[in-house]
Chains A and B, each alone.
Chain A
Amino acid sequence: MSNRVVNILVPVVSIIIGLIVGAIVMVVSGYDPVLGYTALWNGIFGDSYSIGNTIRQITPYILSGLAVAFAFRTGLFNIGVEGQLLMGWLAAAYVGYAFELPRFIHLPLALLAAAAAGAFWAFIVGFLKAKFSVHEVIASIMLNYTALHITNAVIRNLSDGSFKTPTVLESATLRMPWLREITDNSSLHLGIIVALLMVFVMWFILEKTTRGYELKSVGFNKDAAEYAGMNVKKNIILAMTISGVFAGLAGAMEALGTFQNASIKAGFSGIGFDGIAVALLGANTPLGVVFGASLFGSLKYGALNMPNEAGIPEEIVAIIIALIIFFVASGYIIRLGLQKFGKKKEGQ
């Protein structure tokens, strides 16, 4: 079997195995898997409303996935996407309601603010690693908590007791009346275009620019990069900062698209952490991230329909979704199996 075929077969077989195991879980707990999966399918693709909301759900996953993937490609583990996302979320919401500007300035400015906030939060991590050899995982986990509580405190001050910021102005929202119309009043917004644009940006930086070549060199082999005269420290900081831009924009999707505000949170949004799984599912490539985010987002959103339509309790649904993702993530085992299988066939 050629490598290419294996590469395509692995995720497909993984999803199928995941679905089978999920079905077994449903049967064992006394539910009809056909009904369950039909509900899941309908929840994702059932009507234009579901499709709209599924895409809306996928959007921030693409960006948080890009953030993690970009860092991985440059040799860093950005586990702080969650915190960077929260900072971006707040920055976008604030700029979104606090300024009155024409739309063509206001929306880009709000997005830019989110990108800058995420970038700044990630920059701190990169700076600490480059200058003081602080491991990025420790620094970014701590900054996740810091971000959660700082944003909560700021929102409390901005909100006058309503636990959320004022709604962003029309001139800064990503929502479009025509998008709502064609999707039967779903919360689909323009963010998906921003996300796909960033997919291109990541690909372009890594594959086309000299900077991307440097970032990858530093990521793969710091010593060789230094030997070649590259500034390793500067590249570490930059890699982290760019990763933070993607994370901050993921926050903007929630602020300017899905929720139209920033609210006080009891805990993390989870989008940042799920970004790690998305990036790994997508093998850290820009296009792979789109597929990973699509799988993650559709399952997450479609699953909401399973309790309604098939009467399966949320807990079981969560288990099934986790199983599917688990099997996709353990693609290595499946790859091994496929290769053995392929070998046997060749031998015959």
Chain B
Amino acid sequence: MEHVIEMLGIRKEFGNFVANNNITLQLKKGEIHALLGENGAGKSTLMNVLFGLYQPEAGEIKVRGESVKITDPNKANDLGIGMVHQHFMLVGNFTVTENIILGSEPTKLGMINIKDAAKDIAALSKKYNLDVDPNAKIEDISVGMQQRVEILKTLYRGAEILIFDEPTASLTPQEITELMSILKLLIKEGKSIIIITHKLKEIMEVSDRVTIIRKGEGIGTVITAETNPNELAELMVGRQVDFKTVKKDATPAEEILAIENLFVTDYRNIEKVKGLNLNVRRGEIVGIAGIDGNGQSELIEAITGLRKVKSGKITLNGKDITGLKPRKITESGIGHIPQDRHKHGLVLDFSIGHNIALQTYYKEPLSKGGIMNYKKINEKARQVIEEFDVRSGQGEMTPARALSGGNQQKAIIGREVDRNPDLLIAALPTRGLDVGAIEFIHSRLIEQRDKGKAVLLISFELDEVMNVSDRIAVIYDGIIIDTVNPKETSEQELGLLMAGEERQVKAVKEGNE
């Protein structure tokens, strides 16, 4: 079969750092080709080379058999290559049509011809079953819809080859399913697709072949039907990976965290947590499953003191901590892995060493009488770096910004676990991380539990919640609508609960009996 794109022996350097070395990727016409690799393996670099954002130091790119030099994204567009970025490039208060034509506005007598463009876009949307309203404003539509607008944008510009960069990172499980069928439809219509991801499940489901890169090196290409997730993970990480998190049964003891009838409002003063009750005991991991936006963020912020509690009571170890200042709450024994590691978790301009001190800098031995002891801080940092396998170029002196996402997250977890808190709150602890890092983080959470600590895990990933938790509390519209045992539930049941369909859940349960 004919190759629409061939990237042969690509090498890309940044200073002394080799981001891509001798990578070969051949995309056949009409296939979905997955590009698999850990964070920082060089996937995005390779795709940016293809999209004309970077120029390779060595290697050749062929499009439809002809050797080409892709000097900029416009050239890539002309060659029929379109990219759907992980972070959408859309103008929030423009309509779908306005966004799609932006940069190549069709004109009629010197005026923008929106009407015809909207018609074309509606037709395209129908053809690919995208169900997008060309006149809706971007800020009014869901993330999944916005992604479809990005897809439409590439199609409108005549793309034959579509690159998807981590397309499922911000989607709900339902949206992911829909995206997968859109991808298959695109193939049917003769498009070719490269999908960048580190989610093995999606690769197995949707791709025809997989090219794996590890630490900038091309490892090879395999046919999806002839491989399995274990083999892929091994190729990607370079060693064996356990998927099923191994853990003993929980032996929960006394209650550590108790939340009673909690009400919390968000920044617009809209009630997001509406009378929530929850308890977490020593020696167990409670997972909060739910779709983003059902009050998870507000709940965590209320527990940790970052947001005011409207009413209700939060107790930790029998002590009322409602409305205390964040530091007081931290000192009462809560560790917090925040959901946004860049916003809350780290001061990116500080070194990793200084970040390790973020919660404890004011205590001995890290400081004394108001004077910092950076020697002790760096010692402590080295210990955490060692213990939590944080990989950084210059050890504790590396700027936090220079670390990969996984290593930043390991540093935060190290800092929080090192304080030995009674309750560890882990909010989306593995978001955007690769299997190696996820495995590591899960085992650390379980280790905390086995040490007799309480762990509260908030996640949008069903797999994660089901694998790691001992108890699953499903949050919907600001309350815990049900608590289930992960061993006795199914993804189907959880999915329905997360969508707030209590009645249907009962029906499913009864049907099972």
Q: Does B216 contact A (CB under 8 A)?
A: no
When C-beta atoms are compared, the residue in chain B nearest to A227 turns out to be B344
Residue numbers in B under 8 Å from A210 (CB-CB): 361-362, 367, 370-372
B367 pairs with A228, CB closer than 8 A: no
Q: Does B192 contact A (CB under 8 A)?
A: no
Taken together as a complex, chains A and B put the C-alpha atoms of A210 and B349 apart, in Å, by 17
Taken together as a complex, chains A and B put the C-alpha atoms of A216 and B362 apart, in Å, by 14
B362 pairs with A224, CB closer than 8 A: no
Q: Does A208 contact B (CB under 8 A)?
A: yes
B347 pairs with A208, CB closer than 8 A: no
Taken together as a complex, chains A and B put the C-alpha atoms of A210 and B306 apart, in Å, by 22
Q: Which of B326, B354, B371 contacts A229 (CB 8 A)?
A: B326
Given known A217-B350, A220-B350, contact A229–B325 (CB-CB < 8 A): yes
Q: How far is the CB of A73 from chain B (nearest CB, A)?
A: 11
B372 pairs with A220, CB closer than 8 A: no
Q: Does A213 contact B (CB under 8 A)?
A: yes
Q: Does A223 contact B (CB under 8 A)?
A: yes
Given known A208-B371, A210-B372, A228-B358, contact A220–B345 (CB-CB < 8 A): no
Taken together as a complex, chains A and B put the C-alpha atoms of A214 and B327 apart, in Å, by 13
Q: Does B209 contact A (CB under 8 A)?
A: no
B348 pairs with A221, CB closer than 8 A: yes
Q: Does A209 contact B (CB under 8 A)?
A: yes
Taken together as a complex, chains A and B put the C-alpha atoms of A226 and B371 apart, in Å, by 21
B370 pairs with A224, CB closer than 8 A: no
B370 pairs with A220, CB closer than 8 A: no
B347 pairs with A217, CB closer than 8 A: yes
B330 pairs with A229, CB closer than 8 A: yes
Q: Does B359 contact A (CB under 8 A)?
A: yes
Q: Which residues of B in the span 315-345 have a Cβ within 8 Å of any Cβ on A?
A: 325-328, 330, 336, 338, 343-345
Given known A210-B362, A220-B348, contact A226–B370 (CB-CB < 8 A): no
Taken together as a complex, chains A and B put the C-alpha atoms of A210 and B362 apart, in Å, by 6
B372 pairs with A229, CB closer than 8 A: no
Q: Does B233 contact A (CB under 8 A)?
A: no
Taken together as a complex, chains A and B put the C-alpha atoms of A223 and B346 apart, in Å, by 9
B346 pairs with A224, CB closer than 8 A: yes
Taken together as a complex, chains A and B put the C-alpha atoms of A223 and B362 apart, in Å, by 18
The interface size bin for chain B is 20 to 34
Q: Which of B306, B328, B348, B362 contacts A227 (CB 8 A)?
A: B306
Q: 1/0 per position for A202-240, CB-CB distance to B under 8 A?
A: 000000111111101100110111111110000000000
Q: Which of A209, A211, A221, A229 contacts B347 (CB 8 A)?
A: A221
A226 pairs with B306, CB closer than 8 A: yes
Q: How far is the CB of B104 from chain A (nearest CB, A)?
A: 31
Q: Which of B328, B347, B357 contacts A220 (CB 8 A)?
A: B347
When C-beta atoms are compared, the residue in chain B nearest to A212 turns out to be B372
A211 pairs with B370, CB closer than 8 A: yes
A209 pairs with B344, CB closer than 8 A: no
Q: Which residues of A in the span 134-155 have a Cβ within 8 Å of any Cβ on B?
A: none
When C-beta atoms are compared, the residue in chain B nearest to A225 turns out to be B347
Q: Size of chain A's interface in residues, with CB distance under 8 A? A: 19
Q: Which residues of B in the span 229-260 have a Cβ within 8 Å of any Cβ on A?
A: none
Given known A213-B361, A227-B338, A228-B358, contact A208–B345 (CB-CB < 8 A): no
A229 pairs with B359, CB closer than 8 A: yes
Taken together as a complex, chains A and B put the C-alpha atoms of A214 and B372 apart, in Å, by 11
Taken together as a complex, chains A and B put the C-alpha atoms of A230 and B347 apart, in Å, by 13
Residue numbers in A under 8 Å from B347 (CB-CB): 216-217, 220-221, 224-225
B345 pairs with A227, CB closer than 8 A: yes
Residue numbers in B under 8 Å from A226 (CB-CB): 306, 326, 344
Taken together as a complex, chains A and B put the C-alpha atoms of A229 and B414 apart, in Å, by 18
Given known A210-B367, A220-B347, contact A227–B326 (CB-CB < 8 A): yes
Residue numbers in A under 8 Å from B359 (CB-CB): 228-229
Taken together as a complex, chains A and B put the C-alpha atoms of A225 and B359 apart, in Å, by 9
Q: Which of B326, B327, B354, B371 contacts A209 (CB 8 A)?
A: B371
Q: How far is the CB of A96 from chain B (nearest CB, A)?
A: 33
A208 pairs with B372, CB closer than 8 A: yes
Residue numbers in B under 8 Å from A213 (CB-CB): 354, 357, 361, 367, 372
- Of A208, A214, A220, A224, which is in contact with the most chain B CB atoms at under 10 Å from its CB? A224
Q: Which residues of B in the span 363-403 have a Cβ within 8 Å of any Cβ on A?
A: 367, 370-372
When C-beta atoms are compared, the residue in chain B nearest to A221 turns out to be B347
Taken together as a complex, chains A and B put the C-alpha atoms of A221 and B304 apart, in Å, by 18
Q: How far is the CB of A81 from chain B (nearest CB, A)?
A: 24
Residue numbers in A under 8 Å from B371 (CB-CB): 208-210
B330 pairs with A209, CB closer than 8 A: no
B367 pairs with A224, CB closer than 8 A: no
Taken together as a complex, chains A and B put the C-alpha atoms of A221 and B330 apart, in Å, by 19
Taken together as a complex, chains A and B put the C-alpha atoms of A224 and B336 apart, in Å, by 12
Q: How far is the CB of B306 from chain A (nearest CB, A)?
A: 6
When C-beta atoms are compared, the residue in chain B nearest to A211 turns out to be B370
Residue numbers in A under 8 Å from B344 (CB-CB): 223-224, 226-227
Residue numbers in B under 8 Å from A225 (CB-CB): 347
Q: How far is the CB of B448 from chain A (nearest CB, A)?
A: 20
Taken together as a complex, chains A and B put the C-alpha atoms of A228 and B328 apart, in Å, by 10
Residue numbers in B under 8 Å from A220 (CB-CB): 347-350
Residue numbers in A under 8 Å from B345 (CB-CB): 224, 227
Residue numbers in B under 8 Å from A230 (CB-CB): 327
Taken together as a complex, chains A and B put the C-alpha atoms of A62 and B328 apart, in Å, by 40
When C-beta atoms are compared, the residue in chain A nearest to B415 turns out to be A228
Residue numbers in A under 8 Å from B349 (CB-CB): 220-221
Taken together as a complex, chains A and B put the C-alpha atoms of A209 and B369 apart, in Å, by 9
Taken together as a complex, chains A and B put the C-alpha atoms of A346 and B359 apart, in Å, by 44
Q: How far is the CB of B249 from chain A (nearest CB, A)?
A: 34
A sample of 9 more A-B contacts (CB under 8 A), given A217-B347, A221-B347, A229-B327, is A210-B370, A217-B350, A223-B344, A224-B343, A225-B347, A226-B326, A227-B306, A228-B330, A230-B327
Counting from the closest, the 6 A-B pairs by CB-CB distance are A229-B327, A227-B344, A229-B326, A228-B358, A220-B349, A221-B347
B-side interface residues toward A, CB under 8 Å?
304, 306, 325-328, 330, 336, 338, 343-350, 354, 357-359, 361-362, 367, 370-372
10 contacts across the A-B interface (CB closer than 8 A): A208-B371, A209-B371, A210-B362, A210-B370, A211-B370, A216-B347, A221-B347, A225-B347, A227-B345, A230-B327
A-side interface residues toward B, CB under 8 Å?
208-214, 216-217, 220-221, 223-230
